[in-house]
Structure 1
Amino acid sequence: MNYVPYYRVSTASQGKSGLGLSAQREIVQRFLKNGDQLLAEFIEVESGKKANRPQLQAAIAFAKQHGARLLIAKLDRLSRNVSFIFSLRNSEVDFVACDIPDANTLTVGIMAVLAQHERELIADRTRQALAAKKAQGHQLGMPNMTPAINLLGRQVQQHNARTHPSNVQAAELVRLYRKEGLTYAAIAERLNTLGYRTRRGKRFFAMSAQRLDPARSALIQ
């Protein structure tokens, strides 16, 4: 059987999935049987409240193109991620999770419904809490815009520009690949293959990958 492994990590050291990239790869390797083959791997570097999953979509498309199964190391840690579950449920691609090998379209469909219900409950509780605060006389909404607040806003905008998702995600992959001993030239080639581009939409080269190494410089290109 041919498999297309999909891994998810975050900018945190262990990742939101609770497992780093190396640990997920180890789980996948233990899952494989004689004759199984891994095709191209896809790595999603998730940061903050990022909702879109471009690498998941790319992995699904690649699996369909090659008649392979999508392979996920840990499905249970992703079960509350609504966008992930809906993408997987609607993908019409055969998949298997190493930790829940019996999972199927029905299983993830139920997960999606439960995750969406949980989000709605949280939103409802938030609205109720705000209504209670307002009833108690608390002032809600934006504060008056003072020069200090305007300055803070400009600083936040500058910070966001320096930590653009294109750079943040690629930088985390640079860090992971450097730990595995890859050269910057090899890392740049992998980033380009995975579809990553610089903040200006350009292809990566060894120098641009080196600039993104958190151990060497700031996340600015």
Structure 2
Amino acid sequence: MAAYFRVSIVRQGQFGLGLEAQQAAVQNFLCGDATLVSTFLEIESGKKNERPQLAAITRARAENAVLLFAKLDRLARNVAFLATLMESRVRFQSVDVPAADEFTLHILAAVA
């Protein structure tokens, strides 16, 4: 498994959206059942589709790993981006809605 953590601004940590909160959510989700092969952290706007740490997607594909993130809006706020990710067949999972299928993820991305 690989994990991707993102905040837009450092100040987000004050509102419980910080990197530490995301990391804790992923660790609680894993419950020691799996280990992370890669971790990617960044402070960058989710509106940008060209973010340096999105190399996590390529790495997850190369390692045949599931890409984990705490909440869908931490990965992207763009339906087209999410659709492209789904088309690439990279396996990914949002910790806050682990059973979500592609249809549900599309709806959640539109709301985010």
What TM-score does the superposition give when structure 2 sets the normalisation length? 0.76
**Equivalences for 1:28-43 in 2 at 5 Å?**
28-43=26-41
Q: Does 1:81 align with 2:77?
A: yes
Cα contact 2:2–2:38 (8 A) shared by 1: yes
In the TM superposition, what is the alpha-carbon distance from 1:39 to its structure 2 partner? 1.1
Determine which of 66, 71, 74 is the counterpart of 1:69: 66
Deviations 1:102-127 (A, max 9, x none): 12323223345x35xxxxxxxxxxxx
More helix per residue: 1
Partner Cα separation in structure 1 for residue 58 and residue 48 of structure 2? 21
Aligned-partner SS, 1:67: coil
Q: Which amino acid aligns with 2:77?
A: N
In the TM superposition, what is the alpha-carbon distance from 1:30 to its structure 2 partner? 0.6
Aligned residues: 110
Q: Which amino acid aligns with 2:64?
A: G
Change (3 A) 1:43 1:72: same
Partner Cα separation in structure 1 for residue 84 and residue 52 of structure 2? 11
Structure 1 stretches lacking a partner, 5+ long: 116-221
Q: Give 1:101's aligned residue.
A: 98
Instruction: Give the root-mean-square deviation of aligned CA atoms.
Output: 2.9
Partner Cα separation in structure 1 for residue 36 and residue 104 of structure 2? 24
Structure 2 stretches lacking a partner, 5+ long: none
Seq. identity, %: 45
In the TM superposition, what is the alpha-carbon distance from 1:95 to its structure 2 partner? 1.2
Rg: which structure is higher?
A: 1
In the TM superposition, what is the alpha-carbon distance from 1:8 to its structure 2 partner? 0.8
**Equivalences for 1:123-138 in 2 at 5 Å?**
none
What TM-score does the superposition give when structure 1 sets the normalisation length? 0.42
More strand per residue: 2
